[in-house]
Amino acid sequence: MPASIYEMLQTIPDPRHPSGKRYSLASILGIVVAATLAGRTSLRSIARWAKGLSSDQLLALGITRGRAPGQTAMHDLLCLLPSETVEKALGQWTAATTPKQGRQIAIDGKTLRASAGAEYPALHLLAAWCPQNGGVIAQRAVAAKENEITAAKAMLESLPVEGAVVTGDAMFCQQELCKAIVENKGDFLFVAKENQPALMETIATAFSPSLSPPRKPPSGKRDVPPRDRRQKARSPGAPRS
């Protein structure tokens, strides 16, 4: 497993044609990641931020030309690169930084603020959060005709859930989702609500008191543990007290 984010970026396949490439995929994505962490939110601001990098900083990103790639080079690569490929590589690298056993994976969906436009709806993302390392290990956009349950099942198929506990709200308390987690050697902990009466009844029965509780000794008689009874028993031939 790659030790750094830059090494992880080097494992992503480059969708561009081999001829005419001036910058490697890892170098361009490394700039995008670093600029985003520095607070840049648009491709134009990322390109402007990259122009301020020193030659040593560019060299650390694998750029030997002495200048950073421009906005056009970044745009052309990002348009060709499937977002799922980057998210999968980043998620696997993030998950590898925490132990498998006892890891929690919390799944939840949120609508991205200010992502709606005049011609398209707001972007709804389903994310898998790992509290142990404070990072998102997987993320998937929920299509307009898709629900979070279907998206969660597809996302969990690419997640390392072995030895982990997957948590979520009542929406994810579905048989097919729980089955997929168990088949991948993981565990789950979901909220159950009254909209699933059969499941609620099964849970109540499983945690109800036993129908045949242990019998209490008769009143006035001291309950002697079995070991004490054996100790008080007379051996053969011993005189009576």
pTM, full prediction: 0.62
Q: Would you state the pLDDT for residue 18?
A: 84
Contact between 127 and 110 under an 8 Å Cβ cutoff? The reply is yes
Q: Which residue has the tokens 């694998």?
A: 62
Tell me the average pLDDT of the chain: 82
Judged against a pLDDT cut of 80, whether residue 226 lies above it is answered with no
The confidence band for 215, taking pLDDT boundaries of 50, 70 and 90, is low
Tell me the per-residue pLDDT of 38-54, one tens digit each, with 9 for 90 and over: 999 899 999 999 999 99
Helices 71-80 and 25-37: angle between axes, nearest 10 degrees = 110
Nearest to 47 by CA among 61, 31, 60, 58: 31
Tell me the per-residue pLDDT of 7-37, one tens digit each, with 9 for 90 and over: 889 999 999 988 888 999 999 999 999 999 9
Distances (CA, A) of 141 to 36, 125, 144: 19, 4, 9
Q: Would you state the pLDDT for residue 166?
A: 94
Q: Would you state the pLDDT for residue 1?
A: 61
Q: Would you state the pLDDT for residue 229?
A: 46
Instruction: Provide the percentage of residues in the chain whose pLDDT is more than 70.
Output: 80
Nearest to 193 by CA among 166, 167, 172, 165: 172
Distances (CA, A) of 32 to 43, 49, 66, 206: 8, 10, 18, 52
Contact between 12 and 25 under an 8 Å Cβ cutoff? The reply is yes
More confident residue, 97 or 61: 61
Nearest to 161 by CA among 127, 121, 188: 188
Judged against a pLDDT cut of 80, whether residue 146 lies above it is answered with no
Helix (H, G, I), strand (E, B) or coil at 161: coil
Contact between 31 and 46 under an 8 Å Cβ cutoff? The reply is yes
Tell me the per-residue pLDDT of 76-126, one tens digit each, with 9 for 90 and over: 999 999 887 887 787 777 777 766 667 899 999 888 776 677 667 778 888
Tell me the per-residue pLDDT of 148-164, one tens digit each, with 9 for 90 and over: 888 888 888 778 788 88
The confidence band for 216, taking pLDDT boundaries of 50, 70 and 90, is low
Contact between 190 and 169 under an 8 Å Cβ cutoff? The reply is yes
Q: Where are the alpha helices (DSSP H) in the chain?
A: 5-9, 25-37, 43-51, 55-60, 71-80, 83-95, 148-156, 175-183, 197-206, 226-232
Judged against a pLDDT cut of 50, whether residue 2 lies above it is answered with yes
